[in-house]
């Protein structure tokens, strides 16, 4: 007998449970209902509602970006807000297999694990050093914004921040002299500021940081993707930690695509370097063990 059990793993309950709770008595049902209480989604027989909106009223009317905003913020974004968020998510989707997270996912895909495992391998490599610069940049931008009133100006606030930070994340790039994603992203923020969609405080802080960093260096140090998306996430009111989560959501698309591409090659056990290359050995010369 065939049946649609696609959601059984989502709620762990396949019985006839009309009120959506689990338990054998009233107290047990109340305890179970409170244990995973959530304001994100309401699930009842024949009903799925996200933040109070019936799913059937959302499908076909709102984009994945809109629903992402709804789920993490509680309300649907305005169209201009949605466009800014979509731009940030689009810009960070991939940066090639030289990125450790991408390379790891591709290697995992050749080792006999599922596609989801390969994706998890890549996502789990996104940490403070590789993947955390956007969050860290947002924290710096918010520091500048918060200092500006007391310092008297954004310029003075940036001077204070730079005096305390030897490294400012979100500026400069090891590969791009000028990150090709910077200008279109900041252009969208400038337009949104002019249209009254965002306040422009994070933008002002980032542009002033960029200006002063250039004065301290022999060459310009323009914003990179982490800095530009930090501006967008900050202007849209996301917290720094949630902004990192959104970056991971974006980059997971690239991780998926690379893992799938590698899977299609049929390669088995692909390592970090070609098989013809052996790592340099830097230990002692061959020797006899003591007798």
Judge contact between 233 and 187, C-beta under 8 A. Answer: no
Once rounded to an integer, what is the mean pLDDT over residues 46-53? 98
The pLDDT tens digits for 163-207 are 998 889 999 888 888 899 999 999 999 999 999 999 999 999 999
Judge contact between 171 and 208, C-beta under 8 A. Answer: no
- The contacts found for 19-28 with CB under 8 angstroms, 24 or more apart, are 19/44, 20/44, 20/45
Top-level CATH class of 95-271? mainly alpha
Residue 19 predicted with pLDDT over 80: no
**25: pLDDT confidence band, cut at 50, 70 and 90?**
low
pLDDT of residue 14: 46
pLDDT of residue 283: 98
The pLDDT tens digits for 103-153 are 999 999 999 999 999 999 999 999 999 999 999 999 999 999 999 999 999
Once rounded to an integer, what is the mean pLDDT over residues 240-250? 98
Residue 17 predicted with pLDDT over 50: no
Write down the number of H helices and E strands in the chain: 13, 3
Residue 2 predicted with pLDDT over 70: no
Q: H/E/C letters for each residue in 84-119?
A: HHHHHHHHCCCCCCCCHHHHHHHHHHCCCCCHHHHH
Once rounded to an integer, what is the mean pLDDT over residues 241-268? 98
pLDDT of residue 130: 95
d(CA 263, CA 241): 32
Once rounded to an integer, what is the mean pLDDT over residues 20-47? 81
Q: For the chain, what are the domain ranges?
A: 95-271
d(CA 103, CA 94): 12
Residue 26 predicted with pLDDT over 80: no
Which tokens hold the place of 57? Answer: 């009223």
pLDDT of residue 277: 95
The pLDDT tens digits for 128-141 are 999 999 999 999 99
pTM, to two decimals: 0.88
Residue 12 predicted with pLDDT over 70: no
pLDDT of residue 175: 83
Q: How far apart are the first and last CA of the chain?
A: 70
pLDDT of residue 15: 44
Percent of the chain with pLDDT over 70: 91
> Minimal CA–CA distance to 213: which of 245, 178, 250, 168?
168
User: What's the Rg (C-alpha) of the chain?
Assistant: 24
Residue 23 predicted with pLDDT over 50: no
pLDDT of residue 18: 44
């Amino acid at each position: 007998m065939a049946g649609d059990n696609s959601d059984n793993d989502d709620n762990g309950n396949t019985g006839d449970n009309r009120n959506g709770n689990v338990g054998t008595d009233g107290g047990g049902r109340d305890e179970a209902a409170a244990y995973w209480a959530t304001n994100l989604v309401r699930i009842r027989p024949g009903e799925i509602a996200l933040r109070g909106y019936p799913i059937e009223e959302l499908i076909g009317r709102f984009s994945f970006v809109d629903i992402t905003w709804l789920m993490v913020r509680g309300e649907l974004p305005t169209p201009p807000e949605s466009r800014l968020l979509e731009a940030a998510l689009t810009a960070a989707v991939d940066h090639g297999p030289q990125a450790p997270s991408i390379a790891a996912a591709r290697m995992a895909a050749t080792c006999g694990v599922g596609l989801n495992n390969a994706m998890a391998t890549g996502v789990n490599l996104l940490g403070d050093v590789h993947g955390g610069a956007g969050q860290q940049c947002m924290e710096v931008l918010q520091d500048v914004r918060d200092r500006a009133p007391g310092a008297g100006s954004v310029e003075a606030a940036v001077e204070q921040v730079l005096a305390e930070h030897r490294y400012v994340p979100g500026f400069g790039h090891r590969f791009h002299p000028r990150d090709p994603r910077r200008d279109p992203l900041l252009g969208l923020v400038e337009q949104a500021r002019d249209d009254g969609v965002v306040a422009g405080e994070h933008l002002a802080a980032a542009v002033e940081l960029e200006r002063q960093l250039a004065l301290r260096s022999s060459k310009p140090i323009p914003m990179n993707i982490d800095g530009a998306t930090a501006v967008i996430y900050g202007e849209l009111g996301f917290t720094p930690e949630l902004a990192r989560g959104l970056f991971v959501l974006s980059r997971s698309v690239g991780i998926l695509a690379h893992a799938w591409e590698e899977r299609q090659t049929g390669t088995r056990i692909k390592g970090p370097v070609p098989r013809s290359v052996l790592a340099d050995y830097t230990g002692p010369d061959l020797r006899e063990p003591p007798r």
